[in-house]
Amino acid sequence: MDVQVFGVKKSAETRKALRFFSERRVKVHFVDLKERPAAPGELKRFVQKFGLRALIDENSAGYSELGLQHARLSDTRWFELLGEEPLLLRMPLVRNGNLLTIGLAEDEWRKWTIK
């Protein structure tokens, strides 16, 4: 099993995800979104499964700093913004083949590791 984790090192949830897989000796490919933004194709996978709004972290500092609580943006603009400002994403985004999760989803990850 090879898992891909998208997040930032400062995110407690991202660190918990990395620790979860590490403790189970699962090979993890970590993508630090501060160093390299997620490819549009990767983001699109998550949008197709969960919807665009599920990816947006409305509690993030960047969300309020950019005044997005009052913004009326098209889905296309939101998608572009998530690529430009990765700290607006709910983290971590985790992919195991075609299986995807957003945020801390230990119950789901546990199912992946039991197989």
* Between 30 and 2, residue with greater pLDDT: 30
Q: What is the CATH number of the domain that holds 15?
A: 3.40.30.10
Please report which confidence band the pLDDT of residue 33 belongs to, taking 50, 70 and 90 as the band edges: very high
Cis peptide before 37 (omega within 30 of 0): no
Q: In terms of residue numbers, what domain contains 98?
A: 2-114
- The number of folded domains in the chain is 1
pLDDT at position 114, please?
83
Tens digits of per-residue pLDDT, 82-115?
888 888 999 999 999 999 999 999 999 999 988 6
Tens digits of per-residue pLDDT, 4-16?
999 999 999 999 9
